[in-house]
Chain A
Amino acid sequence: MTGPGPAPGDNRVFHVEGEPVPRDADAIEGDALPVPGGQLPVVGPAVRFLDNRTGLVTFGRSALEKVFPDHWTFLLGEIAAFSFIVLLITGTYLTLFFRPDGTTTIYTGPYAPLDGTKMSAAFSSVLALSFSVEGGLLARQAHHWAALLFIAAIVTHLTRIFLTGAFRRPRELNWVIGFTLLLLALAEGITGYSLPDDLLSGTGLRIIYSIIMAIPFLGPWIASLLFGGLFPTTAIISRLFIVHVLLLPGALIGLISVHLLFVWIQKHTQYKIPGATEHNVIGLSLWPGQAFRSIGAFLLTAAVIALLGGLFEINPVWIYGPYVPYAAAVPAQPDYYVGWLEGLVRMAPNWQLTLFGITILPEPFIPGLVVPGVLFTVLWIWPFIEAFITGDRREHNLLDWPWEAPWRAATGAAFATIFLVLLLEGANDVLAAWLLIPVENLTQFFRIMVFAGPVIAWIVTYRLARARLEHGTKPIEPRGGIALRRNATGGFEEVHDRAAVDAALGGGGPK
């Protein structure tokens, strides 16, 4: 990291490759990048006060000048982070009313169909915060929608990183961290889904318990320790709660910090736009351009979540009712981000390996743990797998367009197809009722498609990418506008006309 350094010009030279560093001929006087609010009466003295005691302003100034590529796909990760912030805010509000208590109470509240019904205190508190707390239902629904968006944004972000090869050296570790963040987010989703102790979440927990129990030799013990005994237990809600509100968010915040630190140190990748080289970053400075765009993106993300939370009912637990172990309903699904796992469990054949009267591999073990484990491990360490296959271990700061690495795009499409087929199989009863096809036939179709689909997707994507690559790409228009060039004294000079901009950007015309 660029820590507090001796002088701004020393460690952050803004100049174009290969050009002599201009003397301060046309430099704007002073410093074109003021400390925020430098003209305001309060902020300036306050900043000086801080600087005199910490020396941080040198770092702060260089931080404010950090350049962010100006492309909408670079906002995907930010959107995930903003969804996470909304989750923290709404989640904190919910903890003020939710009681993580699995003990039984009798409901007496405004929701008549449950009047006098036995339920856990946890479920009762969810009803109370939904019906009796002003804004409670909105907060709960916004929290749930934000969770769905959080994971959707992470997956979209990872897809962009994958297709453009942004995970290549030196960023392999940040891919691993990012993928770990996805796993933590999934765990957050599953634990959160299970907290209200309604019929749907209890059924989900029952299935999770059964899958854990299927671990060879250790399963029953692990399941018993995790759940606090034989399912259903009263302990599980309070245990999931502490995992959901403390351990996982803590891990997420820690890893997000490391993730961002790595981005900071390694700087952003960039697309092959005119002027972009392996040795520069072209874009907007953090202050003020990128910072305000990010704030805008955060507020707009919050707006979308608020809109969904207000207009679309999500997880109406009062309809499902409290969990009872002897009832289940169709359609019974987890949230979509676990839908692919549900599909795997639904389509698996009923094989299990039994030797000498001992079930070595109970049925749910392979579809429930082994296959997801293999799929995720491959994706998790993908940068190293790709480097091993291609032998390419050079640093890459310029991104591939997806078609420039046809086999990578094809592999990504194949993975996406596997998850998509599994997701559809996980919704097979809903699809069956819509298409009027028996679920059994759909399952058989998806059993074939989960193998055939990725092959087809691979071939089709590969050929499309090859075609795009061979027939050439549309020439990219030269960048217009002005560019700012940092000179040796830390000042900036403006470059105005297009030809000059392109020249200033390193002479890179359309590639």
Chain B
Amino acid sequence: MRPLIFEEESGIVPPRPQRASRPARRVPFSARLARSVAGLAVLAALGGVALLGLAGSGFAAGQSAGSGASAAASGVSVQSGADLSAGRELYMQTCAACHGVQGQGVPRQGPTLQGQGAAGTAFALYTGRMPFPENGVPSQPRDKPILTQAQIQLLVNYVAHIAPGPTIPPVDTSGADIAAGRQLFINNCAACHGPDAAGGAIGGPGQQNGFPGVFIAPSLHSATAQTIGEAVVTGPGPMPKFNFPLKQIDEIAAYIKYLQSAPSPGGDALGGLGPVPEGYVAVAIGLVLILLFARLISRRPLE
């Protein structure tokens, strides 16, 4: 049991009036509008039942964009002797405009980095959530990191220096008990990420302040063990923070890795989203096929 040390806890939580002003995953209204219009167009074209199924497949395809490329991050640890001044220079070019020169945050631009530490920084950079491209969407996971591994290493060291926080947990899934991991996952993670780690919609912050944002617990189907560990200890965005012993983090990561590679013995898993895509398949494939057969049975197609 190697308990993690939280170096700095205060200051992460914004004061109450500001809560929800910076959801971790926020999608601009235009993008949401475009997707909504597309969705409603499909609804009109294919009928409501089709919508359910497309929701299933679209969801699976759209949301599993996790952090595939941060496989490179495995085994990365913070080198205390790394070049802080090079990191500072990169920070000033890449991050300071929004997060402030001291990581204190800039009103209406970017949140404070206080308390993020190495783990939070590595999570944001290796999953491609940061830095986000111009006109891009902040905090959106991308297929691969925007920066190179060397650049990320410099930034991780530098931010850990100016905004101390959790260190990167050295996650090691080899030999971890996946049955224990499954129980931890169901009890702590599945409420948002789903039993199959396929992700889920967990509402939006718009109710209190009219902000048209939306929270998505992302699919973990391409998350690396390292990213999982970083997310557990930092609680990015609306996600709670967990102070699990490292052994339990190993177990959770091992179970998620198991889910990623587990065969689905019953056939196509339909996105791991449960009865909604199942109902869609039953109607859109099963019923349609049978109606087609019924039509053929009652007519002689060759005449």
Task: Say whether A and B bind each other.
Answer: yes
Please give the residue numbers on chain A whose beta carbons come within 8 Å of chain B beta carbons, in ascending order. 70-76, 79, 112-117, 130-131, 137, 141, 144-145, 148-149, 152-153, 156, 199-200, 293, 296-297, 300-301, 304-305, 307-308, 310-316, 319-321, 324, 326-337, 339, 420, 423-424, 427, 429-441
Q: Which residue of B lies closest to A74 (CB)?
A: B298
B195 touches A319 (CB 8 A): yes
A334 touches B293 (CB 8 A): no
Closest 5 A/B residue pairs (Cβ): A438-B204, A336-B279, A313-B266, A148-B282, A432-B201
* Most chain A CB within a 10 A radius of its CB, from B207, B255, B278: B278
Contact among A117, A200, A324, A439 for B179, CB-based, below 8 A: A117
B265 touches A131 (CB 8 A): yes
B216 at the interface (CB under 8 A from A): yes
Chain B residues with Cβ below 8 Å from A332 are 274
A327 touches B190 (CB 8 A): yes
Contact with A along B260-285 (1 / 0, CB 8 A): 00001111111011111111111101
Chain A residues with Cβ below 8 Å from B207 are 438, 440
A-B contact pairs, 18 of them (CB 8 A): A72-B291, A76-B294, A79-B290, A113-B255, A148-B286, A199-B195, A293-B297, A308-B281, A312-B285, A315-B278, A316-B264, A336-B276, A427-B55, A431-B55, A438-B203, A439-B203, A440-B204, A441-B206
B299 at the interface (CB under 8 A from A): yes
B191 touches A141 (CB 8 A): no
B298 touches A75 (CB 8 A): yes
Chain A residues with Cβ below 8 Å from B276 are 331, 333, 336, 339, 427, 430
B194 at the interface (CB under 8 A from A): yes
A72 touches B297 (CB 8 A): yes
Contact among A113, A311, A315 for B182, CB-based, below 8 A: A113
CB contact under 8 A between A148 and B279, given known A156-B291, A434-B54: yes
B39 at the interface (CB under 8 A from A): yes
Tell me the complex Cα distance, A141–B267, Å.
10
Chain B residues with Cβ below 8 Å from A439 are 201-204
Chain A residues with Cβ below 8 Å from B51 are 424, 431
Please give the residue numbers on chain B whose beta carbons come within 8 Å of chain A beta carbons, in ascending order. 27, 31-32, 35-36, 39, 48-49, 51-52, 54-56, 58-59, 62-63, 178-179, 181-183, 186-187, 190-192, 194-196, 199-207, 212-217, 255, 258-259, 264-270, 272-283, 285-287, 289-291, 293-295, 297-299
Q: Which residue of B lies closest to A156 (CB)?
A: B287
A330 touches B272 (CB 8 A): no
B contact face: mostly helix, strand, loop, or mixed: helix
11 extra A-B contacts, CB within 8 A, seeds A113-B179, A439-B201: A75-B294, A305-B286, A312-B278, A313-B269, A327-B186, A423-B52, A430-B59, A431-B51, A432-B203, A435-B32, A438-B212
Q: Which residue of B lies closest to A453 (CB)?
A: B48
Contact among A131, A424, A434 for B62, CB-based, below 8 A: A434
Chain B residues with Cβ below 8 Å from A424 are 48, 51-52
A300 touches B270 (CB 8 A): no
* Most chain A CB within a 10 A radius of its CB, from B255, B273, B280: B273
Chain A residues with Cβ below 8 Å from B59 are 430, 433-434
A308 touches B202 (CB 8 A): no
Chain B residues with Cβ below 8 Å from A144 are 278
CB contact under 8 A between A152 and B269, given known A330-B202, A331-B194, A430-B55: no
Tell me the complex Cα distance, A300–B27, Å.
46
A432 touches B191 (CB 8 A): no
Contact among A70, A145, A301, A423 for B282, CB-based, below 8 A: A145
B290 touches A301 (CB 8 A): yes
Chain A residues with Cβ below 8 Å from B204 are 437-441
Tell me the complex Cα distance, A114–B180, Å.
9
Chain B residues with Cβ below 8 Å from A199 are 186, 195
CB contact under 8 A between A79 and B294, given known A327-B190, A437-B36, A438-B206: yes
Chain A residues with Cβ below 8 Å from B287 are 149, 152-153, 156
Report the minimum CB–CB distance from A327 to chain B (whole Å). Answer: 5
B206 touches A334 (CB 8 A): no
Report the minimum CB–CB distance from A420 to chain B (whole Å). Answer: 4
Report the minimum CB–CB distance from A339 to chain B (whole Å). Answer: 7
B35 touches A436 (CB 8 A): yes
B298 touches A293 (CB 8 A): yes
